[in-house]
Each structure stands twice: as structure tokens, then as C-alpha cells.
Structure 1
Amino acid sequence: MPQLNPGPWYLTMVAAWTIILLSTPTLMKIKTPHQPKLTKNGAQKPTWTWPWS
């Protein structure tokens, strides 16, 4: 079985990681338009009703 030349594959991997690492801070700056808000008396969990229990 022939061996693959690691040169182009290594360059592709390094280029992909460079793009990912450089774009991460830019993507983290994006704010979603609907941020969750707390109610007046704090975060309340809804009560669950399970019909089979």
C-alpha cells in the first residue's frame, strides 16, 4: 500500500485550524437579538406535568 505525501495534508490542516482560530473571536462578538431575561422574582423553572405518572 503506497504512503501518502503528508505535505499537502499537513498544509490543509494548518490552514483550516488557522481559519478556525482567527474567526472564533469574530463569531463570539455576534450578539443574538433575543437575550433571555429574568423575571421580577428571579428565574423560575416551569412546573412539569407528566400525563403518564
Structure 2
Amino acid sequence: MPQLNPNPWFVILVFSWFIFLTIIPTKILNHLTPNEPAQVSEEKHKTHSWNWPW
């Protein structure tokens, strides 16, 4: 049964995982995001205590 012979398929499996783990992530991470995140101001919002008329 030739499908149980691991010689050609194991090499294909290792080579494909090598591509998936090394080449593809570097290509994806090289793309720039279209909208760069804006800086958030560090000023604190003024909060007022509630005066409940109870």
C-alpha cells in the first residue's frame, strides 16, 4: 500500500510546515495597517459625586 510509505509525504509535510511557520508570517507582518492608532490623551475626566435627594 503506497499511501503508508512515509518517505515522500513526511518530507512534504515538513517542508509545508516550514513555509507556514517562517515565510508566510514574515510576509503578513510586513504589511502596514491602513489606520495607525491615534494617541490617547492622558488627561483625566472630571467626575462629580451624585447628590441624591433621598
Give the TM-score normalised by structure 1: 0.51
CA RMSD of aligned residues (A): 2.2
> More helix per residue: 1 or 2?
2
Aligned residues: 40
Q: Which residue of 2 aligns with 1:28?
A: 29
Percentage of matched positions with identical amino acids = 30
Task: Letter of the 2:10 partner, please give it.
Answer: Y
Give the number of the structure whose alpha-carbon radius of gyration is greater.
Answer: 2
Aligned-partner Cα distance in 2 for 1:38–1:29: 22
Runs of at least 4 residues of structure 1 off by over 3 A? none
Offset of residue 29 of structure 1: 1.0
Offset of residue 9 of structure 1: 1.9
Aligned-partner Cα distance in 2 for 1:12–1:28: 25
Offset of residue 8 of structure 1: 2.2
Aligned-partner Cα distance in 2 for 1:37–1:9: 48
Residue ranges of structure 1 left out of the alignment (5+ in a row): 43-53
Give the TM-score normalised by structure 2: 0.51
